[in-house]
Amino acid sequence: MTGDDIYAYAYLDFQFGFRVSVLDPKEKIKDNSLELTNWLLEWTADGDNDLGIYIQEWVGTAPGLNDLATKEVTRNVLDDVLSSDDLLFNSADFPPQSEIFITKHITVWAQDSTDSANLLQFTQRFSQVHIPEPATLALFGLGLLGIGVARRRLI
């Protein structure tokens, strides 16, 4: 995307959503991360005007909700490259879920006709945790109780 001129921005602004679910009922999604990668390759800038990339993400228990997390990553030429690398990565932990809904809002912009900005790549990761079945936990609890009773009888 190339900017129009000094007074008008050219921008791409879109939003989409998707669902992430586990295939194994013993597994749950416990966190996710978002990273803007290869950002040095994503633009050409003459240094006079603004251009950049912004991604905002909502994580929810239903489509369009952000009740689990909200994350954002961004890079623009107005940021100090050395001190703003923390803006390229964001993560969120939340209680284990069988499924989550992601709503992602992406904006790419350029101001000057000699500048261009592109979104080449971002990385999205989801982590899982193994959740024991309730029956397994119940059997384990009964075993501990039995050991406790047996020990008490021996004393």
pLDDT band at 142 (very low <50, low <70, confident <90, very high): confident
- Give the rounded percent of residues in the chain with a pLDDT score beyond 70: 75
Does 1 fall in a domain?
A: no
Report the C-alpha gap between 115 and 36 in whole angstroms. Answer: 20
pLDDT score recorded for residue 119: 84
Give the chain's domain count.
1
Does 144 fall in a domain?
A: yes
6 has pLDDT over 90 = no
Does 5 fall in a domain?
A: no
Does 4 fall in a domain?
A: no
Does 129 fall in a domain?
A: yes
Does 3 fall in a domain?
A: no
Does 78 fall in a domain?
A: yes
Does 101 fall in a domain?
A: yes
Which range, 73-77, 125-129, 136-140, 142-146, has the best average confidence (pLDDT)? 125-129
**Domain extent for 34:** 10-154
122 has pLDDT over 50 = yes
pLDDT score recorded for residue 83: 47
What's the whole-model pTM score?
Answer: 0.75
In b/e form, how buried is each residue of 48-83, taking b as 16+ CB within 10 angstroms? ebbbbbbbbbbbbeeeeeeebbebebbbbbeeeeee
**Other Cβ atoms closer than 10 A to 106:** 16
